[in-house]
Copies of this chain bind each other. A is one copy, B any other.
Amino acid sequence: MSFSSISHLVCPKCKSTYDDTIVNQLCICGSPLLVEYDLDSLKGKKKNEVINTKRHDLWRYHQLLPVRNPAHVVSLGEGLTPIIPMSNIGAKIGIPQLFMKDEGLVPTGSFKARGAAVGVSKAKELGIKQLAMPTNGNAGAAWSLYSARAGIDSYIIMPVDAPPITRKEVAVSGAHLYLVNGLISDAGKIVGELVKDQGFYDASTLKEPYRIEGKKTMGYELLEQFEDSIPDVILYPTGGGVGLIGIYKAIKEWQELGWIKGNKIPRLVAVQAEGCAPIVKAWQERKTESVFWENSETAAFGINVPKAIGDFLVLDALYQTDGCAIAVTEEDIKKVHRETAQIEGAFICPEGAATFAAAATLRENGWIKEGETVVCLNTGQGIKYPELVETDPPVLERGDSASKIAVSSVLK
């Protein structure tokens, strides 16, 4: 059996097909391209005959990933992140079966590593030597480090307001780092020009077809980890939305393979911030595409994406799974961010916090029903956003007495 069952690329809009063994970016019609596999050749096989269960990373699914030759795999051990019961938050918001899939536990500390691992591996397979991308920070960190491992030169442009730590990650990788006084959409325009002028590979969200294949492994993992009790609801913080598109693609592929017990499909929820909610607006209006969100703003920087190129795919996934889209306030993000640390011991990213805030609202308004199993995607580590935690601890001197420590009489 070959290492990958990849067959070709297809345009979800105009249905044109493309060859994956040569470089392709967008479809001639302007739409992102998706990877198709020869699923027929896998039908009738059991899941564990196809999954390489000895690998504890996302390459256990290599048969359903686009890299044809294992020698091209560029890996730092990403994937198979844990499912963590969030019983304390769950008790508070009336969802006893509340879980977090913690995407902080991957190289570079955010779920962007999945897309980068598979995207860079395929770029290596295609012989790419230089790539460029705009980023809100975490994707740039991941792509620049994986590119370094692959020996690919990367050009990364991010807003000056992107999380400062992600600058350090890009810089340490040896990538060409530029900031822009603006949003990711402004960075994107400059990258577009650079790509055109220099003939670089465009690694922008969905402008190459393989990042989504890495992201979809979150879906495979959820289906594998919850094997006998597929969740009712999955909440995902939605900026570019690639993860949500990927999870939906994963579900459809396993459905076709007959690998989902009872053929149950989770309802997918796109979570956005009130200061940048184009998908929510489109969903509320039952539109198939979103409109550019003017003057977007949120502390959850990863979801500050005013117009996602894959918006139509995100919305389709919401409609097809009876899901929904919901916006949360900055206050709620901040409150939940602190609370998950204090009562669950989980220091998550603000984007992840948004999903828990959304779960609380959806339970309160009855959209999430009593007894349902709910999974929130935490897309990165809290330590990537140290500026969100204020601290001014007392300073003791060498030799000070312990009596200077205020002992709390109130126990937890």
By a beta-carbon cutoff of 8 Å, the part of chain A in contact with chain B is 56-57, 74-77, 80-84, 88, 102, 104-109, 129-130, 145-153, 155, 157, 160, 164-165, 167-169, 171-174, 176-182, 186, 189-191, 193-194, 196-198, 338, 341-347, 381-384, 386, 389-391, 393-403, 405-408, 411-412
A399: min CB distance to chain B, Å: 7
Contact of A397 with B76 in the complex, beta carbons under 8 Å: no
Across the interface, which residues of B come within 8 angstroms of A403, CB to CB? 197
User: Given A181-B396, A190-B405, A198-B407, A172 and B343 touching (CB < 8 A)?
Assistant: no
Across the interface, which residues of B come within 8 angstroms of A347, CB to CB? 108, 145, 169, 172-173
Q: What are 18 inter-chain pairs, A to B, with CB distance below 8 A? A: A56-B82, A74-B345, A76-B345, A77-B83, A105-B105, A108-B347, A109-B383, A148-B342, A149-B346, A152-B412, A155-B407, A168-B386, A169-B347, A171-B390, A171-B391, A180-B400, A181-B395, A191-B402
Contact of A344 with B148 in the complex, beta carbons under 8 Å: yes
Which of these, B171, B345, B383, B397, contacts A383 with CB under 8 Å?
B383
Across the interface, which residues of B come within 8 angstroms of A57, CB to CB? 82
User: What residue in chain B is nearest A225 (Cβ atoms)?
Assistant: B56
User: Given A173-B341, A406-B176, A412-B151, A397 and B181 touching (CB < 8 A)?
Assistant: yes
Contact of B341 with A148 in the complex, beta carbons under 8 Å: yes
Which of these, B148, B160, B389, contacts A345 with CB under 8 Å?
B148
User: Given A393-B167, A402-B193, A105 and B107 touching (CB < 8 A)?
Assistant: yes
Contact of A102 with B109 in the complex, beta carbons under 8 Å: no
A27: min CB distance to chain B, Å: 24
Across the interface, which residues of B come within 8 angstroms of A384, CB to CB? 383
User: Given A107-B104, A130-B411, A172 and B76 touching (CB < 8 A)?
Assistant: no
Contact of B189 with A391 in the complex, beta carbons under 8 Å: no
Across the interface, which residues of B come within 8 angstroms of A197, CB to CB? 402-403
Which of these, B106, B345, B396, B397, contacts A173 with CB under 8 Å?
B345
A197: min CB distance to chain B, Å: 6
Across the interface, which residues of B come within 8 angstroms of A186, CB to CB? 398-399
Contact of A401 with B84 in the complex, beta carbons under 8 Å: no
